[in-house]
Amino acid sequence: MNRERVRGGIGMNRKKGGGRTILQSGIASLFGICLILTGCAGGGGSRESGSLPTQAGGGEETVESSAAGEGASQEIYEVQVEQKEFSLPDHLLGVQFDGERAVAFYSLLDADSGQYDGCLYEYDIDLDTFQPVLEDLPQELLHDAANWYRSSDGTYYVYETDSFVCLNGEGEELTRRKADGVLVQITETKNGETVLYYNDTRVEKYDPRTHRTESKGKLGEAKGAGLLAPGYEKSLLELETWEGICELDLSTLERTYSLHWDEAPYAMEGEPLALRQISARSCEILLYLREDGSYRRDILSTEPIRGDGRIVLTCRTPAYVLPSLRRLAAGFNQNQTEYFLTIESMGEGEDYSDYVQRTAVEIAAGRGPDLVDEGVLSSPLAMIRQGALEELTPYLEKSGMQWSDLYPAAYESFSYEGGVYGMAYEQYPILIYVKSAAAEAVDEKNIQGFLKLLERKPGKGETFCEDYYTPRIVLHRLLAYSEDLQGLVDWEENRCNFQNPLWYQLLEAAGHWGAREGVSYSRRLIRVCYGYDLKSYTAEDGEFRSEGMVPLGGFPTKNDMTVTASVSMIGINALSAHKEGAWKFLEYCLGDEGQSKTDYFPVDRKASQRLLDEAREEALEKSRAAEELAEEYREQGLFEPEQQPDVFRDGKGYIITQERIGEIEDMLEECRSMPLRNQTMVDIVLEESGAYWSGDKTAQEVTDIIENRVQLYLDENG
C-alpha cells in the first residue's frame, strides 16, 4: 500500500492508513438521481444495519438499531476487556498458553563469555515462578532467532525462518528438518495435531511419528498479522490483527468469525504473542506493547447488549479501518449509556466502485450509515450540495468548542459556502525534500520555481520520487493541492484556460519524470517525509538531512509550497435518525480523551501542544546533559572547547531538539488539507492526460478535450 491516500484513486496509505482516497467515478450523477427519486428532503425508509456474526453458543439478542428512518432489529455484541500488565525475562525464546497457564521460555546469557548456560527455563506468568525444564542444550537452539513451542504431549519444537528441530521431553533431538518456506509459527489443534504456519499463509500438518508433512493449502490474503492457537477439536483459533478472531476449519480452511474488531470495536494496542480460547464467548491475548517495551494480557468477553436502551450507530469506512478509529469507537462505547457505535467496512471480495455506489444509493434513499468516512463517497462536494451531509457548525457551537480550538486541516477541506460538513480527528503533515544544491536553484517557492527542477530530463535510473509515482501521480501532485489548478481555473469568472504554457510544462514534466512499468530506478529527485508523529517525523527528517537533502516545503501551489496535511474526514448522514448521537461520537473524537487515542498528530491545538511540551522538556533535559558531558570532556582534555558531543542521535534517527519542536509547531499551523472543489476537475485532467503519455493523442488534442470538459463542468456547477 502506498503511504498516502489521495483523491483520484492513485495511492493508498503504506504505513498505518490515513489520508484521503476518493475513487474517480460518475457516481455523483447517480447520487443526484437517487435524491430526486427518493425525495431527499422528506426523510427515508428503514435500513438494516450491519450486525455482528452470531457468537458460538449464543442466542439471538436484539437492540434498537440506528437508521436514517425507522429502527431495525439486529443482533449486536459488545466486547468487555479486562487488562493486566506483566513482565517477562530477557532473552525470550517463546510465549504460549500451556492449557490455561501462560508461560514463557527463555535462556540465560553470560555477559563475559557471550554464551548461553545451556538451559531452557520456563516462567509461569500467572504464578510468577521460574524453573529449568531442559539442560545441556546446544548454543544453536538458544540464540535470539530461535522460537520455542511445547506441544500438549510434551514435545518441544525449535524453529527459525527456514528450519525446525523436534525434541522430546528430555531435550533429546528427534528430528531436524528444513522448512518449505518462511516458517512463522508452530502450534497445534485441540486434539494435538501439529500445525506449521508460513508467512505466505500456507498451512501444513506435521506428523512427529513419521516426520512427514501434509499440505492443507493457503488461508488466503492475510488481514494484518496472523496468529494461530488451538481451537475446538480439529479446528484452530485464528487472530487477524486487522479483522478479528475466527475459528479455522483445518480440513477446509474456512473461517467462521466469532468477533470482528469493527462491529464490536476493540483496540489491539500491541503485537499479539499468544492466544487461547476460554469459552465460546471469551478469549485471552498476550500482547507486547512496542511503545514502552511492556507486556499485557487482555481477556475479551463478548456480551450481547440485552435491552439496555442503547441505540446502535454505524460508521461506514473503506476496506482499511484505521486502528485509531477502532480505539475511538471502543472508548466511545465504554463512555456511553445512550449509544453504541459499530464500524462497517467494505466486505471481502466486494468491488470498491460498487461499494461506493451502494453507499450513495443508500444515503439518498434514507437507508445509509449514520457516519461516513470520505473514502466511501465518490463526490463529497456533490453530496454537500445535495444536502446529504449534515452541517456541523451548530453542533460544534452547542458543545462549547470553537473552530479556533482546532487546526484548519481538521475541517477546511469539507467546508463549503460558510458551512462545515466533515471533521478529521488526526492529521499528519507531508513535506518534500530535495538535494541542497537543487533547493538553492529554486528561486521561487511556488509551482513556477518548482518546475525549474523538472526542466531537465531525468538521468538514467532517476525518477520523480518512488517507483509508484507514475506520470499520472506526478501530475496529480503538481495540480491537486491547488484549488484553482495552478491558475488554470478562474472560479470567480467561471472559466478555465488550458491553452497556457504552464499547462504544457506540467504535462511534459509529468511524462518525463513519472516512473515507467518494468524500469528499475535507483535515484529520486525528491523524497517525501510523512510526519506521522514526533518520532517518525524527526527520524525521517534526520535521515534525509544526512543524505544532503533539505525541506522545500509541501507540494507546490501557484503562490507557495504549503505543507499538506493528510486527513480522513468523517461526516454525518443528514438523513440519519440519530444525528445527535453521531455528533456525540465526533465530539468524543475531538475531546481530551479521544485526542489522546490518535496515531498521528491530534487536530486539537491543546492536545498537540501537550505532546510538544512534553517533548520540549525531554529535549531540555538532554540538552543539559549534553552540556554537562561536554564540560566534563573539556576538563579532561578529551576534545577542543568548541566541540560538542553528538547526543542528539539515537542510532535510528534524531532525538527531538528544541529547534525541531519549534519547526513542528509552525508546520502544524501551516498545514492545509487537500481542496474539495477541485476534485472533479483533477479527475478529468488525469483521465484524459494518459492518452498523451501513451502516444494515442497529441498534447493539443488532449488539451482541447480537457478544456472542453472542465468548462462544461464549470458551466453546470459554477
Phi and psi at 345, nearest 5°, equal: -120, 170
Looking at residue 441, its pLDDT comes to 84
Looking at residue 75, its pLDDT comes to 67
* C-alpha atoms less than 13 angstroms from C-alpha of 314 in its C-beta half-sphere: 27
Looking at residue 66, its pLDDT comes to 47
* 513 within 8 A of 463, measured Cβ to Cβ: yes
If you average pLDDT over every residue of the chain, what do you get?
84
* C-alpha atoms less than 13 angstroms from C-alpha of 338 in its C-beta half-sphere: 8
d(CA 478, CA 526): 13
* 248 within 8 A of 228, measured Cβ to Cβ: yes
CA distances from 335 to 300, 365, 580 (A): 18, 32, 16
Bridge partner list, 451: none
Which three three-digit cell numbers place residue 360?
450513495
Looking at residue 430, its pLDDT comes to 93
Which three three-digit cell numbers place residue 669?
499551523
Looking at residue 17, its pLDDT comes to 36
Residue 562 burial (CB count, 10 A): 18
Q: Which of 322, 321, 311 is nearest to 347 (CA)?
A: 321
Phi and psi at 208, nearest 5°, equal: -70, -15
d(CA 74, CA 88): 43
CA distances from 438 to 348, 433, 502, 552, 602 (A): 46, 10, 21, 10, 33
CA distances from 15 to 5, 73, 241, 594 (A): 11, 38, 15, 21
Phi and psi at 140, nearest 5°, equal: -65, -20
Looking at residue 522, its pLDDT comes to 92
Which three three-digit cell numbers place residue 108?
540465560
Burial of 443 (0-12, 13-18, 19+ CB in 10 A): exposed
Q: Which CATH number fits domain 27-76+307-424+568-596: 3.40.190.10, 3.40.50.300, 3.90.1150.140, 3.30.930.10?
A: 3.40.190.10
Looking at residue 224, its pLDDT comes to 73
* 532 within 8 A of 599, measured Cβ to Cβ: yes
d(CA 164, CA 197): 12
Orientation of helix 501-513 relative to helix 699-717, angle to 10°: 120
Q: Which residue has the cell 481477556?
A: 299
Give the Cα-Cα-Cα angle 102, 107, 113 (nearest 5 degrees).
165
Q: Which CATH superfamily is domain 80-304 in?
A: Kelch-type beta propeller (2.120.10.80)
Burial 651-687 (b: 16+ CB within 10 A, else e): eebbbbbeebbeebeebbebbbbbbbbbbbbbbbbbe
Looking at residue 641, its pLDDT comes to 57
Q: Which residue has the cell 512427514?
A: 212
Spatial CB neighbours of 432, under 8 Å, sequence gap ≥ 6: 526, 527, 528, 529, 551, 552, 553, 554, 555, 561
d(CA 327, CA 318): 17
d(CA 199, CA 213): 17
DSSP state of 468: T
* C-alpha atoms less than 13 angstroms from C-alpha of 687 in its C-beta half-sphere: 17
d(CA 408, CA 421): 14
Backbone region of residue 432 per phi and psi (left: phi > 0; alpha: psi in -120 to 50; beta: other values): beta
Q: Would strands 523-524 and 462-463 be described as parallel, antiparallel, or unpaired?
A: parallel
Burial of 570 (0-12, 13-18, 19+ CB in 10 A): buried
Which three three-digit cell numbers place residue 221?
490474503
d(CA 361, CA 333): 28
**Which of the residues in the chain have pLDDT under 70?**
1-75, 222, 306-307, 623, 626, 638-655, 718
* 32 within 8 A of 385, measured Cβ to Cβ: no
Spatial CB neighbours of 310, under 8 Å, sequence gap ≥ 6: 63, 64, 336, 337, 338, 339, 340
d(CA 319, CA 303): 26
Residue 160 burial (CB count, 10 A): 16
d(CA 206, CA 188): 9
Which three three-digit cell numbers place residue 708?
472542453
- 3 state SS of 149: strand
Q: Which of 445, 515, 433, 501 is nearest to 473 (CA)?
A: 515
Spatial CB neighbours of 454, under 8 Å, sequence gap ≥ 6: 464, 505, 509, 512, 513, 525
* 87 within 8 A of 307, measured Cβ to Cβ: no
Residue 211 corresponds to which amino acid? Answer: H
CA distances from 547 to 425, 579, 615, 654 (A): 34, 51, 25, 14
List pLDDT tens digits, range 132-165.
999 999 999 998 889 999 999 999 999 998 899 9
The ranges assigned to domains in the chain are: 27-76+307-424+568-596, 80-304, 428-458+525-566+604-674, 468-505+678-718
- The whole model's pTM is what? 0.78
Structural Rg of the chain based on CA atoms: 28
